[in-house]
Amino acid sequence: MRAKKRATHRDVAKLAGVSPAVVSYVINNGPRATSVEARRRVLEAIETLSYHPSASARNLRTQTTRTIGFIYYDYHPQSTFVSPYIAGVLTGLSSALQEVRHYMLPYSVGTGENLEGLNELLHSGRVDGVVLRLAQDPPITDEVLEMISSAGTPCVIIERPGATRFGLSAVTYDDEGAAFMATTYLIEQGHRRIAHIRGDPGQLSSWGRLAGYTRALLDAGLPFDESLVRGGTWLPSAGAEGMRHLLDLREPPTAVFAANDQLALGVIEVLRDRGRRIPHDVAVIGFDDIPLAQELLLPLTTVRIPFAELGRRAATLVLRAVQDDSSECITETVPLELIRRLTA
Amino acid sequence: MRAKKRATHRDVAKLAGVSPAVVSYVINNGPRATSVEARRRVLEAIETLSYHPSASARNLRTQTTRTIGFIYYDYHPQSTFVSPYIAGVLTGLSSALQEVRHYMLPYSVGTGENLEGLNELLHSGRVDGVVLRLAQDPPITDEVLEMISSAGTPCVIIERPGATRFGLSAVTYDDEGAAFMATTYLIEQGHRRIAHIRGDPGQLSSWGRLAGYTRALLDAGLPFDESLVRGGTWLPSAGAEGMRHLLDLREPPTAVFAANDQLALGVIEVLRDRGRRIPHDVAVIGFDDIPLAQELLLPLTTVRIPFAELGRRAATLVLRAVQDDSSECITETVPLELIRRLTA
DNA sequence: GTGAAAGCGCTAACAA
DNA sequence: TTGTTAGCGCTTTCAC
């Protein structure tokens, strides 16, 4: 059954009694006009033969593939896609591409041999362009950027501004501004002692969020109290430990701004164990808006990062760059939003 | 810069002073042997020209693409990849493919027009085979299966046994058996009143898990008490509501087997609010082992579904089917494991 | 062990 | 409006 050979455009042409060129004109609606009659016959022949153009032949002929690579850095080879961050981007990117009949080819880098594979991917013409989502720090980053830049493949970076050195477009967001917004919101609610659980100091986001928190305090004329800043990783356990320390303070905070939702989860667990009421005794704000945040018994107030939107915008930018070689490279910053739920 | 044309095998041949055929022999290590000297010169020329073979040309010539499609059903277009289920499969599948230098092309179905796109994907020769991960019930399923089957593309189904009607291989797991195992474990711990929070009755898993729970009770000579079965969706809220009812019973259960981890999360929140100690007063077991399960302050005892492993096995099967057209179709069942943590 | 040449299936330039 | 044909870059058969 699979032995039966697929029909080609020649078969269609023969059956329809036209030349192969006309078949192409009909399929592609151009670049030449066709008579109504010819068109009808071709369409009919296509139908009866259940003809589908060969993607490989088209790709070769047109030197284009309708495919965009999604290059991502592999933090945890065991569970890459499980991270809501990459997953969200992937969702937006793939659906945006699918809407315009393009395909997405995910490719993970992180190990040396994958890097060689990436080079091949970039140079083999398998993709028309790429979207990049790398971690913000590891040394691999520059190597990858260098590789992509020198391959000349149109590229858009997600979540990493300032790749301007390589002349690449980017879609990013403003950690500092959002942290400022979240903290200011707490202040407006009347809080005066506001703690911050920070993330991994090895990642830029962590610093941006800390900076926004600090600026909000200073702007409001509140003192910056170092003992109110805890944490140091992105995991719930750090949130829990941080909160325990904070509660043991002589003057505990009445509100906590956690650098991400996982930390906030840990914070909340401890508050519950200690019998504190949320948000009455202690208010909590997270960051990211992971899916679980709204499914909790006590839905989490948090700053939403619209990951899917990042992916969609990246799709638009990269497609534009593919189409118009001379399009200038720009950095888009998507606005972040405070999602008010029940914890603050 | 991007205007500069890429080198082709002819350029390499010319520079190395050999014929194009030899370049091919060297690149592919065959099918003909080459002299050491010729090989050296070709390799050198490749290096200096930084030549990379064109994927499109190869695909056309060899009628193969080193690409496997991953077709998935789009429950939530907004957050497809966020589901740990699809995400886990994707992780295993993509890394297994990448290891053998293949590519993965995710394609979401769920809307009518995507279905037409799927047909094109299958017939255009853009992929050598596909892996399918559909929901277990929606009507779209049969249509998709029919389409794939008639396209003759090698295909492996994930998480859905009994597609034997279409003669497709499958990788699946045993819900009933695992539920039996989990419940039996609770019985062995001395529990006599064990509740079950079930999932969405529209999905097969939900029934399998209920069946395993029931069988375990009967096997142990315990009565099946209908009032101990609650739930009806997969969401934490159903777990919470179910647990509230259970606690209000005249004789509340001492253990709960939740049909998935989200439900277990809801169960646990309620137990905490009501001041019950876990697992001392009430033991809780979940199902799935979502990433969060082990990050909780009280890590969750649960049945692990090795999603990444499902993906890896599917990769193996589909690659085999692609290579060997006549390979028979088989169903692999991956074993499920009880992960003992702190809630039971 | 190597070269010449055919041809994978398509698009588009050229000619009519 | 249509037919003819070259050629995208590669692999592989055939001839040497």
Helix (H) or strand (E) holding A198: strand A194-198
With distances taken from each CA to the C1' atom of nucleotide D9, the closest residue turns out to be: B57
Alpha helices (H) in A100-174, listed in sequence order: 112-123, 140-151
pLDDT of residue A229 exceeding 50 = yes
| Amino acid in the structure at residue B56 | S
CA dihedral sign, ordered B226, B232, B234, B236: negative
Rounded distance in angstroms from the CA atom of residue B30 to the C1' atom of nucleotide D16: 19
Over residues B59-100, the pLDDT tens digits come to 999 999 999 999 998 665 555 555 778 888 998 999 999 999
Confidence at residue B292, expressed as pLDDT on a 0 to 100 scale: 79
pLDDT in tens, B158-215: 987 656 678 789 999 999 999 999 999 999 999 999 999 999 998 889 999 999 999 9
3-state secondary structure B24-89: HHHHHCCCCCCCHHHHHHHHHHHHHHCCCCCHHHHHHHHCCCCEEEEEEECCCCCCHHHCHHHHHH
Out of B57, B82, B236, name the one closest to residue A84 (CB): B82
Instruction: Specify which residue's alpha carbon is closest to the C1' of nucleotide D1.
Output: A34
Tell me the chain B residues in contact with residue A78 when contact means C-beta distances shorter than 8 Å: 91, 308
The yes-or-no verdict on residue A340 having pLDDT over 60 is yes
- Tell me the average pLDDT of chain A: 90
Mean pLDDT of chain B: 91
- Pick the more confident residue, B32 or A335: A335
Protein-to-nucleotide distance from the CA of A118 to the C1' of C10, whole angstroms: 28
At residue B285 the predicted structure's pLDDT band, cuts being 50, 70 and 90, is very high
User: Among all residues of chain B, which has the CA nearest to that of A293?
Assistant: B236
Of A188-197, B55-64, B135-144, B288-297, least confident by mean pLDDT is B135-144
Statement: residue A226 has pLDDT above 70: yes
The answer, yes or no, to whether residue B1 has pLDDT greater than 60, is: no
**pLDDT the model gives residue B78:** 53
- Which pLDDT score is estimated for A259? 97
pLDDT reading at B314 higher than 90 = yes
pLDDT digits (tens, 9 = 90+) for A135-144: 766 667 788 8
pTM of the model: 0.92
Whether the predicted pLDDT of A85 surpasses 90: no
Which helix (H) or strand (E) covers residue B198, if one does? strand B194-198
Residue A5 confidence (pLDDT) above 80:
no
Tens of pLDDT, residues A88-109: 899 899 999 999 999 999 999 8
Protein A62 CA to nucleic acid D6 C1', in Å?
Answer: 15
User: How many other C-beta atoms are found inside a 10 Å radius of the C-beta of residue A242?
Assistant: 25
pLDDT tens readout for residues A112-130: 778 889 999 999 999 999 9
Q: Looking at the complex, report in whole angstroms how far the Cα of residue B221 sits from the nearest Cα belonging to chain A.
A: 36
| Chain A nearest CA to B91, separation (Å) | 6
Please answer whether residues B315 and B131 qualify as being in contact, where contact means their C-beta atoms are separated by less than 8 angstroms: yes
- Check whether B51 has a pLDDT greater than 70: yes
Name the residue with higher pLDDT: A276 or B136.
Answer: A276
Is the pLDDT assigned to residue A307 strictly greater than 70?
Answer: yes
